[in-house]
Amino acid sequence: MEQRKIITTSERGLQEESLPFRLYQKAKKFGVWNPTDIDFSQDVEHWAILPEEKKGEILRLISQFQAGEEAVTLDLLPLIMAIAKEGRLEEEMYLTTFLFEEAKHTEFFRLVLNAIGEKGDLSVHHTDTYKKIFYEILPETMNRLMTDQSPEAIAEASTVYNMFVEGVLAESGYYSFYRSLEAGGLMPGLLKGVGLLKRDESRHIGYGTFLLQRLICEHPHLYDQVSNRMNELLPLAFMLNREGFKGQEVNSSGATLEDSMQFTQKQFNARMEVLSRAKGRKIEEIYKLSESEVGVI
């Protein structure tokens, strides 16, 4: 029988200086905001008078985020299990906050919808590309970890979940929220929550960046796998943007499709650039990475 090795009573103790442990400390400080503390009274007033077209655009964004947060909440567990099985205690400690935060994000968007009285079936806003990503690719990739915990499978999971869904799609979505609401001071409760969850997401993406750098450092061939997968996924992000504009070049907030495409491309390039730095790095350097080097705000 395999015998457990206890880490925290050994001379090793906890690696308090490692990036995952620092992210855990940060999460205990910044990840504890409570969605039920946010005041949506002005949002309710604004919702009642917003033009229908603009409401449609915001509702599409909310419904995609609502389903996306639900999906990432449900799909994260196999990754946590794979990391725990390898005895990576500091990483698992960080991941306990990750799942808690995704649950709060799911709660947050539902509170917004309840407040503004949008209680119907919103899945009509889930386009074919959206479904392909959130109904198929994400759950399939994450569930693979239940039976396959190879470095390849873990890298694939982190590429799809942290780099693509969080690092490219969610970031593009926050940008759309700010672009349509910020200038007019609209929906302040919604924007407040988006700001808070954007900060949580920066830790999630930061962890994913660490994880992929660690995996690439341990198994250099994984860099090509990750990079190829990202390049395969990028067209889906562009298609989502296009579907969001419904064949038009400019939406009701005056935002252009071109600008959305550029933002998505910029996010993609930023993820790829950080990952490319893993090549040739020593493993100790990866554990010592600063929060800012992995984009944590």
Question: Which residues would be at the binding site for Fe ion (CB under 5 A)?
Answer: 166, 201, 204
Q: Which is nearer to Fe ion, 92 or 166 (CB)?
A: 166
Q: Which is nearer to Fe ion, 207 or 223 (CB)?
A: 207
Q: Which is nearer to Fe ion, 125 or 204 (CB)?
A: 204
Tell me the helices (H) and strands (E) count for the chain, helix number first. 13, 0
Q: Which of residues 64-123 bind Mn ion (CB under 5 A)?
A: 102, 105
Q: 250 pairs with which residues across the strands?
A: 256
| Least distance between Mn ion and beta carbon 121 (Å) | 22
Reduced DSSP (H G I as helix, E B as strand, rest coil) percent helix, strand, coil of the chain, to 5: 75, 0, 25
Q: Which does 22 bind (CB under 5 to 8 A by kind): Mn ion, Fe ion, none?
A: none
Say which DSSP state 96 is in.
Answer: H
Q: Enumerate residues 6+ apart whose C-beta is below 8 A from 260.
A: 172, 175, 176, 241, 244, 245
Q: Which is nearer to Mn ion, 43 or 166 (CB)?
A: 166
Site string for Mn ion, 219-258 (x = CB under 5 A): ----------------------------------------
Tokens 């799809």 -> residue: 160
| Least distance between Mn ion and beta carbon 204 (Å) | 7
| Least distance between Mn ion and beta carbon 98 (Å) | 9
| 49 and 114 Cβ atoms separated by less than 8 Å | no
| 203 part of the interface to Mn ion, by CB under 5 A | no
| Least distance between Mn ion and beta carbon 24 (Å) | 17
Q: Which of residues 133-152 bind Mn ion (CB under 5 A)?
A: none
Q: Which is nearer to Mn ion, 43 or 102 (CB)?
A: 102
**Separation between Cα atoms, residue 183 and residue 254, nearest integer Å:** 12
**Separation between Cα atoms, residue 272 and residue 115, nearest integer Å:** 39
Concatenating the DSSP letter of every residue in 160-192 gives IIIIIIIIIIIHHHHHHHHHHHTTTT--HHHHH
| Least distance between Mn ion and beta carbon 200 (Å) | 6
Residues that bind Mn ion (CB under 5 A): 102, 105
